[in-house]
Amino acid sequence: MKAKRSGSSFNSLNSKRKLESVFLFTTGKCNARCAMCFYANDMEKKARDMSFEEIKKLSETAGQFNRLWLSGGEPTLREDLPEIVEMFYRNNGIKDINFPSNGIKSDLLIEWLKRLRKSCPNCNISISISVDGFGETHDKQRGTPSFYKAAETLKKIDDNFKDDGKIIKNIATVITKYNLDEILDFVAWIYGRFNVSTHTIEAARGTTREEGVKAVTEQSLREIQDAIAPYYLLYARRIGAGMNAIGRGLTEFFYVGLMRAMYNIRAQNIDKPVCWNMDCTAGETTLVLDYDGRFRACELREPIGHVKDYDYDIQKIMQSGAMKKEIEEIGHGYKANCWCTHGCWIMSSIVFNPLKMMSKLTAANREMKKLRRPVDISESFLNNLEEKYNIDRDKLKEAGIL
Ligand code: SF4
Ligand code: SF4
C-alpha cells in the first residue's frame, strides 16, 4: 500500500505560539566548498560538534514540537544522524523533517532514508538536494565536481521512494553570479528532467565564502520570479495529481500562494530590510542550534548564547533573558532590522499568522493568475538545453536520467 503524506505541521493553521521548529546544524564539516556558503566562517572555526549526549539532553527538555530542520555542514557527514533524528521522533513527536544534502554521499543517503522511513513511520521527510546549475556551473559554484553525482542521487531517491508520499523530493538552487544567466533555462530543465515536488530558488545570503557572488537586486529577483511562475503552477499540479478536484484546487491555492508570498517577502528584503506586515515569530516558535552548541532565534541573526550555560535545557533557553532580549530586538519583524531573505524562516512564521496569511495567499494567487503562460518542456527543448550547456548525456544516461 502506498504511504500517504500525513498532516504536515504546515497544514494546520496554528495561532498558539509555542516551540514549533528546531533548526539543528548537525556538523561543522562539509565535503563541498560552495562560493555562496553563508556558514563557511562558522565552519572555519573548526569547533567541536555537539556530542550525541549533549543533543540528547536538549531533546529531553524540548517537549513536543513539530518540525526538525537539519542543516550543516553536510548532514550526511554526521555518522550518528539517524540516531539523533530517531531520538527527536521518540522524545518530541516530530511530524516533519527537513533534510538538506549536497547529494554527494548518494548510497548512504538512500540507506538512511530507508532506515528513517521504518523507524519514524509517521514523519514526512522532505529531502532537498542542492543543484545550482548545468554541469560546470554547478561544479564551479559548489567548489567540487558533483553535478552528475547529485543528479544520480535524485534518480536513486525517485527510484527507491517513487510511491512513498512521505518522502518529499525537492531541489534547492541558490542564485549567484555564476548561474544568473542560465537560471531560467535551468528551472525549465529541472522541471522537465526530475520528478521532484518543488524547486526552491534562494538568493545568496549572509556573509558568503567568496566575496561578490551575490547577484540579484529586488528588481532582477522579481523578474526571475515572474518568469518562473508558470513552473510553480505545474509543480502544484504534479503534487495534486491523483487527488480529487477539491484536493487539487486546495493544493494549487496553498502551494502557489505560499511560494509566491514567500518569494515576494524575500525579494522585498534583498536591497534593504523591510517589514513583512506579518508577525515574525523567531525565538517564540523557532530555535536554532549551531553545531557547536551556540544558539540563535533565527538563522539570519547572530548567536545569543551557548546551550551549556543553560544546562542543555531548551525550556530554560526559550525562557531566558537572552532570548527575551532578542525577541524584543527583532520586534516581531516590525523593526525591520534584519535581512529576511530565506524561505524557511518566512514559512516558520507564516503559519502563526492565519488571517494575514490567508490574505497574502489570496493576493499571491491573483498575481500568479496573471503570470500563467504555456511553457515548453518537450524532449527536443530539453535536448537543446543539454547541448547548449555542454551536458554529458552519456553520464545522464548512466545515472538513469535519460
Ligand atoms: S553551502 Fe552547504 S554544502 Fe555548500 S559548503 Fe556550505 S555547508 Fe557545505
Ligand atoms: S531575519 Fe526574518 S525571520 Fe529572522 S528574525 Fe529577522 S524578520 Fe524574523
Q: Which residues does a 6 A CB cutoff place in the pocket of ligand 2? A: 280, 282, 298, 300-301, 330, 333, 338, 340, 345
Give the residue among 310, 392, 393, 298 at the shortest CA–CA distance from 341. Answer: 298
Ligand 2 pocket check: which of 38, 298, 328, 329 to mutate, most ligand atoms within 8 Å of Cβ? 298
pLDDT averaged over every residue in the chain: 92
Neighbours of 28 (CB within 10 A): 22
Confidence bin at 163 (pLDDT 50/70/90): confident
Half-sphere CA count of 345, side-chain side, radius 13 A: 27
Q: Which residues pair with 294 in a beta bridge?
A: 306
Confidence bin at 392 (pLDDT 50/70/90): very high
Q: Which residues does a 6 A CB cutoff place in the pocket of ligand 1? A: 30, 32-34, 37, 39, 72-74, 102
CA dihedral of 312, 318, 322, 325, whole degrees rounded to 10: 170
Ligand 1, residue 43: give the atom nearest the CA: 7
Residue pLDDT, tens place only, 270-303 = 888 888 778 889 999 999 999 999 999 998 899 9
Q: How far apart are CA 400 and CA 381, in angstroms?
A: 19
Ligand 2 pocket check: which of 269, 345, 349, 350 to mutate, most ligand atoms within 8 Å of Cβ? 345
Q: For position 333, what pLDDT does the model report?
A: 84
Ligand 2, residue 280: give the atom nearest the CA: 8
Confidence bin at 1 (pLDDT 50/70/90): very low
Cα of 49 to ligand 2 centre, how many Å?
25
Ligand 2, residue 337: give the atom nearest the CA: 6
Distances (CA, A) of 307 to 61, 98, 211, 289, 294: 12, 22, 31, 8, 6
Domain containing residue 380: CATH number = 3.20.20.70
Q: How far apart are CA 347 and CA 329, in angstroms?
A: 20
Confidence bin at 313 (pLDDT 50/70/90): very high
Give the residue among 229, 222, 177 at the shortest CA–CA distance from 199. Answer: 229
**5 part of a folded domain:** no
Is-contact 52 88, C-beta < 8 A? no
Ligand 2 pocket check: which of 340, 344, 351, 353 to mutate, most ligand atoms within 8 Å of Cβ? 340
Ligand 1, residue 30: give the atom nearest the CA: 8
Q: How far apart are CA 38 and CA 41, in angstroms?
A: 7
Q: Which residue has the cell 535524485?
A: 154
Burial class (CB in 10 A: 0-12, 13-18, 19+), 139: buried
Q: How many independent structural domains does the chain possess?
A: 1
Q: For position 266, what pLDDT does the model report?
A: 87
Q: Where are the beta strands (DSSP E) in 301-368?
A: 305-306
Ligand 2, residue 281: give the atom nearest the CA: 8
Q: For position 141, what pLDDT does the model report?
A: 98
Q: For position 287, what pLDDT does the model report?
A: 97
Q: Which amino acid is at 368?
A: M
Give the residue among 367, 64, 50, 44 at the shortest CA–CA distance from 232. Answer: 367
**7 part of a folded domain:** no
Res. 7: pLDDT tops 70 = no
3 state SS of 97: strand
Is-contact 333 340, C-beta < 8 A? yes
**11 part of a folded domain:** no
The ligand that comes nearest to the alpha carbon of residue 333 is 2
Confidence bin at 11 (pLDDT 50/70/90): very low
Distances (CA, A) of 32 to 19, 112, 131: 32, 20, 12
> Which residue owns the Cα nearest ligand 1 atom 6?
37
Bigger pLDDT: 341 vs 207: 207
Give the residue among 70, 49, 36 at the shortest CA–CA distance from 288. Answer: 70
The ligand that comes nearest to the alpha carbon of residue 334 is 2
Q: For position 353, what pLDDT does the model report?
A: 83
Query: What string of DSSP letters covers 19-80?
Result: --EEEEE--S--S---TT-TTHHHHHT-PPPPPHHHHHHHHHHH---SEEEEESS-GGG-TT
Residue pLDDT, tens place only, 47-80 = 899 999 999 999 999 999 999 999 989 999 999 9
Res. 15: pLDDT tops 70 = no
Cα of 342 to ligand 2 centre, how many Å?
9
Handedness of CA 32, 34, 39, 43 (dihedral sign): positive
The ligand that comes nearest to the alpha carbon of residue 72 is 1
Q: In what order do the strands lie in the sheet with 21-25?
A: 198-203, 167-175, 124-130, 96-101, 67-71, 21-25, 286-289, 294-296, 305-306
**6 part of a folded domain:** no
Which residue range forms the structural domain that includes residue 303? 17-398
Contacts of 317 (CB under 8 A, 6+ apart): 287, 295, 305, 307, 310, 323
Ligand 1, residue 100: give the atom nearest the CA: 2
What is Dmax (Cα atoms) for the chain? 60
